[in-house]
Amino acid sequence: MSDPQSVEYAVVALLERVDALRRDGRPLGGAGAGPPRLPVRAELRTLEFWRATISECLATFFLVFVVCGAGAGASGGASGSSGAAHNNGALLATALAAGFSMATLYQCFGHISGAHANPAVTAAMAVTRNVSPLRALMFMTAQCGGGIAGAALLYG
């Protein structure tokens, strides 16, 4: 028999409790485990829904604008023997711009909408039921619009 003070005993007891919660059909995260699900008509009328949708549009706009702008600015003027070194520097600058801009955008918009800033991330969140289908559809529409607007502003 295992000693009740051992780590193995505690891990087995914890896993048995998690398994029991799953069998009962209760969410694992506590009382609600996520935001409450509203009917579609009620969700469309909330200010939080529209604020989150607009924040996804803005986050994607800024992400596309900064990353494409960094890539366009870093790619000009490579010629001669230093072309390979310049391309590596441009690649590093673009990668740093993408990483720092996504970190900044998550800090700015993460508490509002989750700052997915990518329709693929939103689709994954919808498949795993972390966001409602309506919210996922609106987020993906807003993200596509924000990305197009960011590229259009950069283009001219």
**For residue 71, which amino acid is it?**
G
Largest CA distance in the chain: 74
Mean pLDDT for each consecutive 10-residue tract of the chain (156 residues)?
Answer: 72 83 62 64 91 96 92 64 66 89 93 92 93 94 97 92
Name the pTM for this structure.
Answer: 0.70
Confidence (pLDDT) at 40? 85
pLDDT of res. 39: 85
Please give the single-letter amino acid code of residue 119.
P
| Angle at CA of residue 115, ends 32 and 64, nearest 5° | 160
pLDDT at 16: 86
Contact 71, 89 (CB under 8 A): no
pLDDT the model gives residue 30: 47
- Give the separation between CA 155 and CA 95, rounded to whole angstroms: 20
DSSP alpha helix (H) spans, the chain: 7-24, 40-44, 47-74, 83-113, 119-127, 133-155
